[in-house]
Amino acid sequence: MDVSDPQTLGFMVFGGFMFISAVGIALAPPAAAPKEKKKKKSAKVEPVVVAVETAAQEVLMMAVAPVVDVSPVNVVAKVTKEPPAAAKPEEPKEAPTGNKKKNKNKLEPVTDSSLLYGELLSAVSNRTLSEDQTSKLMEVLNQKAGDSWQLACQKGDPLSTLKKQLEEKEKLRTADQEVAAAAKTRLKELSKELSAEKSKMGSLDARLKAELSAQTHKLDAMRVSMKAGEQEHLKLTETLNQKVVVLQEQLENGPNAQLARLQQENSILRDALNQASSQAESRQNAELARLRSDCLHLSRELTERSDALRADEECRHGLEAKMAAAEQEAAQTRDTERALQQHLQEVMSELNAAQQEAAAVSELQGALALRDADLQELQAQLESQAAGQVNT
């Protein structure tokens, strides 16, 4: 038997009240004094109790008739004739100021029944009854108890209050179920929103990874081109150094024609060096400008992504159930930002390296200028030597 079931609980409460009412009717005290009958509740309940007591006494006397004397039977007859007059609860309301003789006539059978009640109880307790007699007695008592229960229900039924309480609890339970269903639907919506956000973040992550791979490819190509340029510069400087050495040897050993030719070659080489240095500078400047534009583009994208991430984080603050997942995604986006920042730092370091290379090229230009000055000094010395030879 499930005690939590409302129907089972109602049957249990109803049976308990039936049992309590039967015990109360069986153990009811004698009738009250005439002063107490003036009260409304006693005026309504006492006739019913007297009728039930007289009926019970009649059944008991019928069951114990062979043992009891004749005089108690006459008293029972008097009492049994009286309940129709006593069973009218409305007479005290309609005529409360009636004759005293009627009240005395009504009180006499009540006192007789109260006196007979003890004798009946003693007779029933002292005698042994058969099963048929006991079953008949119990049926009559149950019928009388049912009548009194109906009257008590008309005045104030605690079972109805319990039913009302159960209905209120059922309403509260249905309201809680509706709230739980609404919460479940809201949770499903939030999970759908979270899955959409996850898909968005996944696509964003894939796009950023693709852009990062493209930038790395570009940087690799730039590194290869810078290495090729460095190798070309090294080869050019080596050839220039070799030519300078050859020119120095020719200046030391050759005549003025060779000196003129060497001067022409030197001017040609100087022009070529200037052109190569200008081309290298322009190329480096173009690469630096492109790298700066890429850095600005990446920084703008980072700011946009950070703003979008902040907006997403503010939206996720309202989603209490999915806070942990939102924080993980924010951590992933922070990791991507850190990776992009590291990439920017690498690009800046490469820019610094390119600037250092440009400084090295400028130093080479300074060295070439010094060598040109040395060549001019050698030329002046040769001219002075030639002038001395002419004078001699």
pLDDT digits over 264-280, tens only? Answer: 888 888 888 888 888 88
> When comparing pLDDT for 326 and 121, which is higher?
121
- Give the per-residue pLDDT at 240: 87
Decide if 61 contacts 76 (C-beta within 8 A). yes
**What integer pLDDT is reported at residue 205 of this predicted model?**
87
pLDDT of residue 6: 62
* Integer Cα distance of 125 and 142 in angstroms: 19
Stronger pLDDT, 163 or 201, i.e. the higher one = 201
Q: Are 326 and 190 in contact (CB under 8 A)?
A: no
Task: State residue 7's pLDDT score.
Answer: 62
pTM of this structure: 0.22
Handedness of CA 51, 55, 56, 57 (dihedral sign): positive
pLDDT at position 86 over 60: no
At 373 the pLDDT is: 84
In this predicted model, what pLDDT tens digit does every residue of 372-385 receive, in sequence order?
Answer: 888 888 888 888 88
Q: Are 91 and 147 in contact (CB under 8 A)?
A: no
Q: Quick: pLDDT tens for 41-60.
A: 444 444 444 444 454 455 44
Q: For residue 156, is pLDDT > 60?
A: no
Q: Is the pLDDT of residue 95 over 50?
A: no
Q: Interior CA angle at 151 toward 149 and 152, to 5°?
A: 65
pLDDT band at 70 (very low <50, low <70, confident <90, very high): very low
22 vs 300 pLDDT, higher one: 300
Q: Which pair of structure tokens corresponds to residue 167?
A: 């209905």
Residue 118 has pLDDT above 50, yes or no: yes
**Cβ count near 5 (within 10 Å):** 11
- Residue type for position 388: G
Average pLDDT of the segment spanning 65-77: 37
Q: What is the mean pLDDT of residues 97-107?
A: 43
* pLDDT reading at 222 higher than 80: yes
A 10 A CB-CB count for 368 gives: 19
Which is nearest to 269 in space by CA: 301, 241, 297?
241
Question: What is the structure's pLDDT at 32?
Answer: 47
Q: Where does the pLDDT of residue 90 fall: very low under 50, low under 70, confident under 90, or very high at 90 and above? A: very low
- Whole-number average pLDDT of the chain: 71
Q: Which two tokens stand for residue 119?
A: 């004798």
Model confidence at 67, in pLDDT bands (50, 70, 90)? very low
Single-letter amino acid, residue 229: G
Q: Distance of alpha carbon 389 from its chain centroid, rounded?
A: 105
Q: State the alpha helices, DSSP H only, in the chain.
A: 6-26, 40-63, 70-81, 83-86, 91-94, 100-126, 131-156, 158-253, 256-317, 323-391
pLDDT confidence band for 102 (50 / 70 / 90) = very low
Instruction: Report the percent of the chain where pLDDT is more than 70.
Output: 60
Residue 365: its pLDDT value, please? 84
pLDDT at 8: 67
> How far is residue 22 from each of residues 57, 143, 144, measured CA to CA in Å?
15, 10, 8
Q: Which of 124, 104, 3 is nearest to 56 (CA)?
A: 124
Q: How far apart are CA 272 and CA 269, in angstroms?
A: 5
pLDDT at 5: 61
